[in-house]
Structure 1
């Protein structure tokens, strides 16, 4: 989590003249616009283990390059060439699963570690990790709230947000939502611009872009990259973007080009010098052709096999680059920046620059506000669930309608208790898609050093409390009285409490499973399976006194549904009697043995005894349920913390 130096962006006055806008400085922080003057990498290698042989396999070899402030670099290559691998390695992210990265990453000629780089950079993912129910202005305001320290005034934040929205041409869409599956919002190009703008509000000096034009046509691609180019040029940013098959107009916006093929560098240098370089190695570009397309065709090995002409050509181009004067000159330029950093005292030392960081207590309220806005506005988050649970309440209330206190209705009462608790828990899987959207946003913000797992989990838990209580209360109001449960205020409120704890645990389970398996179908399947398991061992389908010891001692005692079922059973049967079936005036048929059988009644505690449920342990069960909820939440926090 870091606050970054203020920046200046360009805006256009009504008369068409250009002016520079100061976006606000954090008080007490020494700000230098050219704090990062160059960004370089030297002899970068990324290796993974070959799946078959288990030998080291290089997916990026001896990559070197340098970009200066105000420049925009395009990393290009065919699919599988190592574009995203290089971009992730440069950003100190995980280059690939199980990858080992070696080499130097330098800023101002100095080695830069992950923490320092994140303070001075932002990474924009290929997929838009935007919250669909928020407007443009809200998205920017929340991004500013997470990124800027408390020493930055509210006025300065608002000014920074307004200026960035104007600079990216989004003034007319300021109050338009991003867009959800139910509500239409921004266009694809506008979403891309907003995604970049929300990262620039943190005022990075280095901007990493992963396929910023994916999914856009040539006109929108040019529009997005042109906005980024102007912002970068005016504010002396270093912009590094992986890009696939840009149009000619988009391609010419870049200052430098890095061509990769099978993890090897085929060219690195300025865009105008690419043409003469390839001509010098006997690859003359035809006239009237898209240069980007021509370069990619030269090194494209997607359909090539080792040994054929296309593969050999790509390998030859990579060898030519390593042996070329330009390749040697690049290495010398990088070395010169290292030597200059050692001798020139005026070059900023990034490790010595301490930026103010927003605290946990500053970030959590921002996350709470954002989550609250999403929760009440996005029908998918809680609206659908409220409708589902009300539907279930009406269904149950009309199926188990007005059950009387006769022994014939004892089993329907038990069925209603089990069905209500178990299926309310099961239907919590509807929260999976909403949480996965939040998780994607969290991962983006965490990778940029803005939000930690503790703040994210705290906000997620706190914001769910009122909505879950509302669901439990509405369900109880409809179903409890229709069914004919014990008509006492205390019994009603206890039933609502048990359902509230049931839903809290179910949502905590969703959060845990989705954190472990952040894939929609997989999270849905695992959560559904877990709920099915809890239903089987909660003491209804098989009473505890005859439940298989393995399932009883391994799973039953950690089953939150078991404590909900037992608590609601005690709540209903502890202080209630039921009438036996009368055979004649003095003879009764009673299903459960009880000291009241001679009077034609069954004491409710006899039903509890048949299920092996004790009376007087309600407080203990509430405590265990809360402990299970806390356990799920702590485990989810640990999962996110370990997955850096």
Structure 2
């Protein structure tokens, strides 16, 4: 890893607006940011502070390049240059929500990230050493072999999880580190440790920008610079240690002992309780009076905001804009060298596939082989085995009973994979968007690895299910027939899984996807060839799209196949029920299911690409 390249971040008159709908008046346009100016240099921590809805996260997204400044207003420069692609590898962004896989350990999480993100010129061992160095740097040695955990899985603490997320970003030794509410939800001691860590990173040569809602006084003192935002406007920019002096100079001082951050947030909200009132406001509202006798005489939050904004514009804003005109002391030759070296970063497509395959296998083995899922499959297998205990096909009635069993198997191993697969992409969307935004891997490598890593896990429970059911119910005692039945169920599972992936990728919403999947599965089941033998011609096309229909017919063909239907001594071959199905050789059914396997996955990939493009257009 090359040394950190110093990056001087400057921004002037940054504005951001949300346009109203087509046909609405210009007044419908909402300004999220209005002319914000500031700067932060290597070795400094800049805090963006203000009430909720004040524009902190929007400004952070603009400064980091996640949102394009073009079409809005103002300028943002990095070493006096506009944003360019090579900066993407020089910027780390830590989201407010901890987007990590809950079933991976701390060590696995950081090692997989290092293998995917670090330059190709480094060996696997060097990348793993870098991950271990980050673990040591962040003080995570004691929990490195503990799973991350989440809402439903117990793991590491919230502070440790936040440090893992920061570790994911500092693996590349970024010059600029952006953090959105890194102390949110943490106790004061843990929050202080996170802030001290950011302070140490800045002193090592990085430029750090973070949003903060309402820090403790100890946290507040760790910041070098501060921007106080109120209603999208800058009410203060300068050294954090001088903020109280500035507001005191314009007549706003706390009348009681108060946390500086709490005092500043109150001002940004227009709350003057327990604070001195500036003489200009007193003169304006009381015309020289000494006390506010009635509540309606007091200045409104809007009046206070306007006063603070006018004071900032007249006393600070122009001076800061003049400072931004000074060129930064940067070595441009080194700038070019670092930019060119980053072209070799990342892993090859096959390396990405291999890494994502093993990461996916480790992450999802807990879901596929959880005791709840195993118990569910085993319990249903035993119940089915007992209900059809030692059945045979000696009479037409018994043949129909066995046909009901085969239809249930086709429905069960169509229903279960669909409702497992629809959760895949909606649940991993945040992780996918996060990792794709930094070009961590190709979408095709992720998609292939995601599909292939599921196959070994998908086959374990169906094999166990069929081993229990097949011999309990007395199906055809032939090893070849058993293997053919197993292969048919595997085809059904893979086809059903593809449908679930396509529905999940199309809607990216679990509730909507589950509703649509239930309608489709019920339709496929009804048209599956067991409940209705003669489907009206205008609805007959549905059964050819139903993997239940094809699976059911294949299982019947395998169980009751005959070399000659007319002369065989085997009873089912002469059954009117079997003859009426016209099973033929099963080639059409197998071909249709193979087409579904690839067709549904192609649809899922197309939907994922569209989702990625939508996400990219928002950045």
If the length of structure 1 is used for normalisation, what is the TM-score?
0.82
Q: Point out the more displaced range, 559-568 or 239-248.
A: 559-568
Contact 2:505 2:604 in 1 (8 A): no
**Structure 2 residues not aligned, in runs of 5+:** 272-297
Unaligned runs of 5+ in 1: 1-5, 7-30, 578-593
Give yes or no for the alignment of 1:565 onto 2:552: yes
1:201-600 alignment to 2 at 5 Å?
A: 201-234=171-204, 236-286=205-255, 288-300=257-269, 309-321=300-312, 323-337=313-327, 345=332, 348-349=335-336, 352-355=339-342, 356-357=344-345, 358-376=347-365, 378-379=366-367, 384-405=372-393, 406-428=395-417, 429-430=419-420, 436-543=426-533, 545-547=534-536, 549=538, 551-553=539-541, 555-575=542-562
The answer to whether structure 1 residue 177 and structure 2 residue 168 are counterparts is no
**Mapped pair 1:41 → 2:41:** no
Give the equivalent residue in structure 1 for 2:285: none
Residue 140 of structure 1 is aligned with which of 102, 110, 123?
Answer: 110
Alignment length (residue pairs): 581
Equivalence for 1:26 = none
- 1:591 corresponds in structure 2 to none
User: For residues 17 and 369 of structure 2, what CA distance do their matches in structure 1 show?
Assistant: 41
Mapped to 2, the partners of 1:484 and 1:325 lie a distance apart of 90
Change (3 A) 1:480 1:216: same
Distance 1:573 1:634, change over 3 A: farther
State the alpha-carbon separation in 2 of the partners of residues 457 and 39 from structure 1.
Answer: 37
CA distance 1:382–1:360, shift in 2 (3 Å): farther
1:209, CA displacement in angstroms? Answer: 1.0
Matched, 1:628 2:599: yes
Give the match for residue 14 of structure 1.
none
Structure 1 residue 58 corresponds to structure 2 residue 45 = no
Deviations 1:66-98 (A, max 9, x none): 2111211111111111122222222232589xx
Q: Contact (CA 8 Å) 1:573, 1:604: kept in 2 or not?
A: no
Change (3 A) 1:89 1:537: farther
Residue by residue, what CA displacement relative to the aligned partner does 1:27-76 show, whole Å, maximum 9, x if unpaired?
xxxx342x242122333332223369474322222233221112111111
Whole-angstrom CA distance in 1 between matches of 2:608 and 2:242: 50
**What is the correspondence of 1:2-151 to structure 2 with a 5 Å cutoff?**
6=1, 31-33=2-4, 35-50=5-20, 53=24, 55-94=28-67, 101-113=72-84, 115-151=85-121
C-alpha distance in structure 2 between counterparts of 1:461 and 1:216, whole Å: 37
Q: Secondary structure at the match of 2:324?
A: helix
C-alpha displacement at 1:507, in angstroms?
A: 2.5
Deviations 1:436-474 (A, max 9, x none): 554433322222331332121111111111111222222
In 2: Cα distance, 1:242 partner to 1:109 partner: 23
Higher share of residues assigned strand: 1
Query: How far is the alpha carbon of 1:152 from its aligned partner?
Result: 1.0
TM-score, normalised via structure 2 length: 0.85
Report which stretch shifted further, 210-219 or 381-390.
381-390
Rounded Cα–Cα distance in structure 2 between residues aligned with 1:203 and 1:371 = 26
Contact persistence 1:442–1:451 (CA under 8 A): no
Distance in 2 separating the partners of 1:632 and 1:269: 53
Give the SS at the match of 1:492: helix
1:272 & 1:434 partners in 2: Cα distance?
48
Q: How much has 1:352 moved relative to structure 2?
A: 4.8
Question: In 1, Cα distance between the equivalents of 2:214 and 2:578?
Answer: 70
Pick from 132, 139, 143 the counterpart of residue 162 of structure 1: 132
What CA distance in whole angstroms lies between the structure 2 residues aligned with 1:390 and 1:630? 29
Distance in 2 of aligned mates of 1:420 and 1:600: 23
- State the 1:192 CA deviation: 1.0
Return 157-166 or 217-226, whichever deviates more: 157-166
**Is the CA contact (8 Å cut-off) linking 1:122 and 1:199 kept in structure 2?**
yes
- CA displacement at 1:347 relative to structure 2: 7.2
2: distance between equivalents of 1:628 and 1:498? 18
Q: Is the 8 A contact 1:504 1:629 kept in 2?
A: no
8 A contact 1:563–1:625 mirrored in 2: no
Secondary structure of 1:335's match?
coil
Segment of structure 1 superposing worse, 355-364 or 619-628? 619-628
- Aligned-residue Cα RMSD (Å) equals 3.2
User: Where does residue 24 of structure 1 map in the other structure?
Assistant: none
Alignment CA distance shift 1:605-1:231 (3 Å): farther
Post-superposition Cα deviations, 1:544-577, rounded to whole Å, max 9, x if no partner, equal x42462x443x44333333223322322333399
